[in-house]
Amino acid sequence: MIVEGSEGSVVFPKDNAESPTASESRTVSIDQLIERWWQDHFPGSALARDTQAWNVAYAAKETLKRLLVQAQDRVLKGSI
């Protein structure tokens, strides 16, 4: 389970401390989470060999980060 921290970042609980993507008391922002996912899945893929496709996917990733941060901010402010 992932719990939201007071600063709007993700806090991984102790039971996930041995996970390769988390360590005890580690706080990860949405941006860092998406960047980690991107690095784990896209470099070296077929997408990486096509510049135009890479640029479209990269722009979509950046848009996703922005939209998720905006949604998180609205939730934290209680407007959703």
pLDDT at 13 over 90: no
Q: What is the pLDDT of residues 15-64, one digit of tens each?
A: 444 555 544 446 678 899 999 999 999 999 998 999 999 999 999 999 99
CA distance 37 to 65: 12
The pLDDT assigned to 74 comes to 87
DSSP letter string, 13-78: -GGGTTSTT--TT-EE-HHHHHHHHHHHHSTTSTGGG-HHHHHHHHHHHHHHHHHHHHHHHHHHTT
CA distance 9 to 31: 9
